[in-house]
Amino acid sequence: MPSASFNDGLRDCKRERKKRYNNQLQGIVMRRLVTLTTFSALFSLLVTLPTFAGWQLSDEASQLSFVTTKNSDIAETHSFESLSGDINAQGQVSFHINLASVNTAIAIRDQRMQKLLFELDRFTTAEFTGKVDIRFIEALPVGQIKYLPLAGDIRLHGNKQAVTTKVQLIKLASNRFAVNTVKPVLLNANQYGLVAGIEKLRAIAGLNLISNTVPVTFNLVFEYQTN
């Protein structure tokens, strides 16, 4: 028959194991409460954060076109159907072109440009970044027209080039203005690593020549979004 001291030791051992178990359980509960509290706080923060407020490009009201020339004297105008961009409070401009939205009015040609020229599996967008005096633009009276220089960088097909052009700015409303090219911006395929793609397009279409110089024009409308 076990002695009293043995039974006491057994009870002490059980109490110690129970104490450790309770401490572990309490720790697990506390950690879960902390995790839940943190998640709730983050969720509340995300819900209450305002969306971007500032000048946003209106895709529906904007247009960007480019001209290709084949066999020396046949020019065709094409466009991109998906544009996005914004201007922040410091005047930083960010403008993106979805290259998959190229529209040449011929589906097979669109597909060839996407695959052979733009290489969409590697490069999905073209981007322009620059800076404007947004305070000057905001202060313009409605109906005012100004001609301003615009400088920035174009990123296309993994290459970046600085560009400078002159644009027409029209203040359409207190919360809306348009930016239009005064004359085409000339992009050279050599500077953006696109010559090989143009050669592939020329060969598959059985053409004698596709020009490496591409004139680009745009009519962009920005609207001020409050939330």
What percentage of residues in the chain have a pLDDT greater than 70? 77
- Asked whether 130 and 150 are in contact (CB, 8 A), the reply is yes
pLDDT digits (tens, 9 = 90+) for 49-72: 344 579 999 999 999 999 999 998
| CA–CA–CA angle 20, 22, 27 (5° rounding) | 95
* pLDDT value of position 7: 46
Interatomic CA distance for residues 156 and 45, integer angstroms: 36
What residues have CB less than 8 Å from 172, skipping those under 6 apart? Answer: 142, 178, 221
pLDDT at 8 over 60: no
Which structure tokens are listed for 148?
A: 């301003």
Q: For residue 210, is it left (φ>0), alpha (ψ between -120 and 50) or beta?
A: beta
pLDDT at 37 over 60: no
Please indicate whether residue 16 or residue 74 has the higher confidence score (pLDDT): 74
DSSP H helices in the chain: 4-48, 107-112, 134-139, 195-205
* pLDDT value of position 35: 47
* pLDDT value of position 26: 62
Where along the chain do its domains lie? 1-49, 54-225
CATH superfamily of 54-225: Lipid/polyisoprenoid-binding, YceI-like (2.40.128.110)
